[in-house]
Amino acid sequence: MEYYGYFNGVEYDEEFVALVNRILVKNGVFDNGLKVSASSGMTIRAAEGAAIVDGFIYYNDEPMTLEISVANASLPRIDSVMLRWDIPNRKMNLTVVTGTPQSNPVAPAPVRSSTTFDLQLATVRVNAGVGSITAANITDTRPNQAVCGVTSGYNGVNIDTMMAQYTAEFGEWFETIKGQLSEDAAGNLQTQLDGHTGDEEIHITPSEREKWNEAAGALQYHNAGVHNSIYRGKPLGSTVTAAQYAEIAAGTFKDLYIGDYWTIGGVNYRIAAFDYYLGCGDTACTQHHAVIVPDSSFYSAKMNETNTTEGGYTGSLMAREGIQATSDTIHAAFKDHVLYHRVYLVDGVTGGHPSSGVWRDSSVRLMTEQMVYGGAIYMPIADGSAAFSNYRVEKSQLPLFAYEPSRISNGSAWWLRDVVAASSFAYINATGGASYLAASNVSGIRPVFSIC
């Protein structure tokens, strides 16, 4: 059948208009519209904006507040924020589709049926027992063409292909100089660039070329020291590639920086350090590695059934059972690339302070105050007459928390493994503050592990 239009005096129905729109404009949001952000408490905010859904247009001219359902007491879930087209009722609206609480939650997928058509704008991780949503809990899915996408003015233009081409071309140039300019060198370079702002001619003088090459020459080294010094925070996809594992194993870490993260099974696994444990242990760790910390707790559990720290971390219910499901999830995601290495853990407590330690092979465990804050806050070190051993190899702050302290506070409380007193372990409270909690209380499990 042939279609044509528009002509004066001819009436066109909604299906014809939608057909024209489908030809000219692909599904997705316009510009940066309908972005989802945290609001207050258990609410989120969708910005004003417009979208095309299978040829039909949606427009909201002001920000909209959406409610997130009450968190499950013991299990996390992931909700989906949808722009939903109710086809039979000829209506579109923003809605939150509540996910299923489980130890490894998955976001509800957008529906594409004869009665419903969804654009997924974002996912929201709702951790167990939380009373508020933070920016760290929200993942923007608008750029993902499979679930939403960004519209282009002409449906034949593949924005993803264009961006991939531009990114590849830029990446080839940037690979030699990214992230390693000193502050002085970077400032000097910016001054040179600013000097050409008004030029109509593209050029570089021999003197400038010499200075550029000198600066770029300092950027050819890739090692843990360099990559521990740079925060980027780039999403790395849904799996660790063979090339990325090779860079980690070689200790070069090219195109991997602090804050970069993989999203696997709805969990953001973020790079916190490189080679943090290298050379440590009664049998030294010799494998190059990247230390990983998830953005949020997996679920909540007790340190012990009663308010005791007897046996330290190694003797706790948490170490023996509580963290096991988390460990299983991590091993399933990263398989045989999860690093086992020797760590020193508290196994005895006397008078409310650590009194003995033991070397153990370990892969997944809770963090310490040193790793989070860079020093002891509540764990006993000395009382004026006696000094107490740390019983650990973790002796410095993870670069992730040094460069972006907001990553410490994720809107929910979570355990640390430090013994604070005869009845309490250290933990991070829901406001991000350093604190301690009686061992029989429930708090989040946010572990640390390494991949190699």
Tell me, yes or no, whether 317 lies in a domain: yes
Same domain, 36 and 184: no
Same domain, 367 and 439: yes
pLDDT at 56: 82
Q: Which of 224-233, 267-276, 305-314 comes out lowest in average pLDDT?
A: 224-233
The DSSP 8-state label assigned to residue 403 in this structure reads H
Q: Which of 9-23, 133-147, 214-228, 246-260 comes out lowest in average pLDDT?
A: 9-23
pLDDT at 181: 52
Q: What Cα–Cα distance (Å) separates residue 363 from each residue in 137, 316, 346, 368?
A: 25, 17, 16, 15
Domain holding 132, by residue range, is 14-140
pLDDT at 7: 61
Give the pLDDT mean for 109-132: 93
Same domain, 112 and 181: no
Same domain, 96 and 180: no
pLDDT at 10: 65
Tell me, yes or no, whether 150 lies in a domain: no
Predicted TM-score (pTM) of this structure: 0.55
pLDDT at 419: 96
What band does 144 get if pLDDT is binned at 50, 70 and 90? confident
- The residue with tokens 């000219």 is 24
Tell me, yes or no, whether 375 lies in a domain: yes
CB contact burial 365-401 (16+ within 10 A = b; e otherwise): bbbbbbbbbeebbbbbeeeeeeebebbbbbeebbbbb
Q: Which of 171-180, 242-251, 357-366 comes out lowest in average pLDDT?
A: 171-180
On whether the CB atoms of residues 411 and 136 are closer than 8 A, the answer is: yes
CATH number for position 136: 2.60.520
Same domain, 104 and 211: no
pLDDT at 369: 95
Same domain, 211 and 359: no
- Give which of 191, 199, 233, 198 is closest to 215, Cα–Cα: 191
Same domain, 274 and 125: no
How many folded domains does the chain comprise?
Answer: 3
pLDDT of 107 above 50: yes
Question: Rounded to whole angstroms, how far apart are CA atoms 277 and 451?
Answer: 11
Same domain, 129 and 26: yes
Mean pLDDT of the chain: 85
Same domain, 214 and 329: no
Tell me, yes or no, whether 409 lies in a domain: yes
The model's pLDDT over 296-344, given as tens digits with 9 standing for 90+, comes to 999 999 999 999 999 999 999 999 999 999 999 999 999 999 999 999 9
The values of phi and psi at residue 246, to 5°, are -65, -40
pLDDT of 359 above 60: yes
What band does 161 get if pLDDT is binned at 50, 70 and 90? low
Q: How many helices (H) and strands (E) does the chain have?
A: 10, 22
Sign of the alpha-carbon dihedral angle for 3, 7, 9, 15: positive
Question: Rounded to whole angstroms, how far apart are CA atoms 395 and 154?
Answer: 56
Same domain, 420 and 369: yes
Question: Rounded to whole angstroms, how far apart are CA atoms 250 and 289?
Answer: 9
pLDDT of 179 above 60: no
pLDDT at 43: 96
Percentage of the chain lying above the pLDDT 90 cut: 62
Tell me, yes or no, whether 212 lies in a domain: yes
Tell me, yes or no, whether 201 lies in a domain: no
pLDDT at 155: 46
Same domain, 281 and 430: yes
On whether the CB atoms of residues 430 and 412 are closer than 8 A, the answer is: yes
Same domain, 67 and 120: yes
pLDDT of 167 above 70: no
